[in-house]
Amino acid sequence: MKLEPVIGLEIHVQLKTKSKIFCSCSNDAHNQTPNTLICPVCTGHPGTLPVLNKEVVNYGIKLALALNLKINKKSVFERKSYFYPDLPTGYQISQFEEPLSSEGYYVLKTPKDKIRIGIERLHLENDAGKNLHQKEYSLVDFNRAGTPLAEIVTKPEIKTPSQAKYFLQDLRRICRYLEVSDADMEKGQLRCDVNISLRPEGDLQLYSKTEVKNLNSFKSVEKALKYEIRRQTELWNTNKPPQEETTRGWNDSQQITELQRSKEKANDYRYFPEPDLPTLIIDKKLIEKIKKSLPELPANKKERFMKEYGLKSGDAETIIDNKKVSEYFENVVSEFKEWLISELESTSETEDELWENNKKKALKLIKGWITSELFKLMNEASLSIEEIKISPENMAEFIKTIYLSKVNSSNAQKILKIMFESGGDPSQIIEENDLGQISNESEIEELVKNIIKNNPEQVKQYKEGKINLLKYFVGMLMKESHGKSNPKVGEDLFRDNLK
């Protein structure tokens, strides 16, 4: 019997608004002294009242629109009761019957396939604090209590572990593009529980699902799902498919899932409408306003970059992965284009034709120097693109010097490094450090003739047929000219002069 996996995701995204969801405490709990960002509201003191942070609603709508969800005109906050030491109120304020948004979808493109994944809902709720377990006692930090969360629930329409992973990676990128969350899984800003069941291929019924928790990386999501597919396949093959819903936890050190609880022991949340918060009514105008403010989303940008800049899928992905990098890239391209058009003024071609006919070489250089050398320097210095000293103008100018063969590639690396360390204009750096390329043929020819004169033995061997000595001669030339000769010109001159 051929079995197919049925996978759904429940995702929590921490929204990075300035203040918490129901009080004015700072929402930036990362690296803060425990229990310094708290007030009577977020620590659940009796008699306090929650007040909904409007910005949280705006962030939620943004994210919901990016996932093609319908924003519900009316939504209701409800109390979800459960006892846990890091939940001071004894309940979470969430949305259940009437969420902020519902019925959306996301078109996922992976290197292998393209599928449409239904999104059931996105609703808002508050996060709990954090328990810090010591050997003989536990401590509670309430800094995170009241951090706004957007919970996203997909339909069980994901078919493979890698689709689940790609979906989460796309979601992280969307959150970052919208600037609603940094969505870093390691920091708990993006958390995911997965639901998985198997069924005979073609069967449309849903069978008892297993929920897997404690997944804190994209890799662990993929691995836990693969493990569950193996485990449940074995059960099906021995005629014992899972009979009840269970919750399992991912054990990363052993790379297995472990039973946490079965359904009889599951929580009864006793949902009821939160009496201290009014029904949330969303105005159509607000939705329209937010819709207009949405940036170009990463999947669209990737497609555009492939079309407009002739990038391969992988290269486009590398560049659009970070919104700021993609903006930097486009700024460099536009600076370069401007220069190219002014430089190549032509009467017969329009500006667009001019660019079309010359852009291939330029874009290859821009893409190459940004994604290899510049990224390498950024990694070594742990700097983001916003923090570096090389402006897009100077980067375009730098690419220009290479485009015009004014420097050779090893000197270009030196120039970029100096630009990276000190900022500054590439032409000035070339002049100050004497890194320009000698393209003047007669100057190079003089050096070439000298080298031929001083290496009679090698010249003899070359003339006898050992033609790869040409590389040796070019090497000598580069050494004598301190790396400034154009090696291509040098090679041609050696060939001519050794005839």
> Which residues are at the interface with Zn ion (CB under 5 A)?
23, 25, 39, 41-42
Q: Closest approach of Cβ 302 to Zn ion, in Å? A: 40
Tell me how far apart the alpha carbons of residues 152 and 158 are, in angstroms, rounded to a whole number.
14
Distance in angstroms (rounded) separating the CA atoms of residues 198 and 232: 7
- For the bound state, the minimum distance from the C-beta of residue 19 to Zn ion, rounded and expressed in Å, comes to 8
Could you give the count of Cα atoms lying within 13 Å of 199 in the half-sphere of its Cβ? 16
Q: Quote the CA–CA distance of 488 and 408 in Å, as a whole number.
A: 10
Cβ nearer to Zn ion, comparing 42 with 374 = 42
Write down the least CB distance from residue 21 to Zn ion, Å.
10
Distance CA 149, CA 183 (A): 11
Cβ proximity to Zn ion, 36 vs 454, nearer residue: 36
Residues forming beta bridges with residue 153, ordered by sequence position: 10, 121
CB distance 101 to 122 below 8 Å: yes
Token couple for 466: 């050992």
Smallest distance from the beta carbon of 17 to Zn ion, in angstroms? Answer: 13
14 versus 72: smaller Cβ distance to Zn ion? 14
Of 140 and 198, CB closest to Zn ion:
140
CB of 29 to Zn ion, least distance (A): 11
Of the pair 38, 340, the CB lying nearest Zn ion is at 38
Shortest Å distance, C-beta 48 to Zn ion: 9
Between residues 41 and 117, which has the closer beta carbon with respect to Zn ion? 41
Smallest separation, CB 24 to Zn ion (Å): 7
Shortest separation between residue 117's beta carbon and Zn ion, angstroms = 36
Cβ proximity to Zn ion: between 42 and 221 the closer is 42
Kindly state the smallest distance separating residue 133's Cβ from Zn ion, in Å: 24
Task: Identify which of 157, 153, 132, 159 has the alpha carbon closest to the alpha carbon of residue 143.
Answer: 132
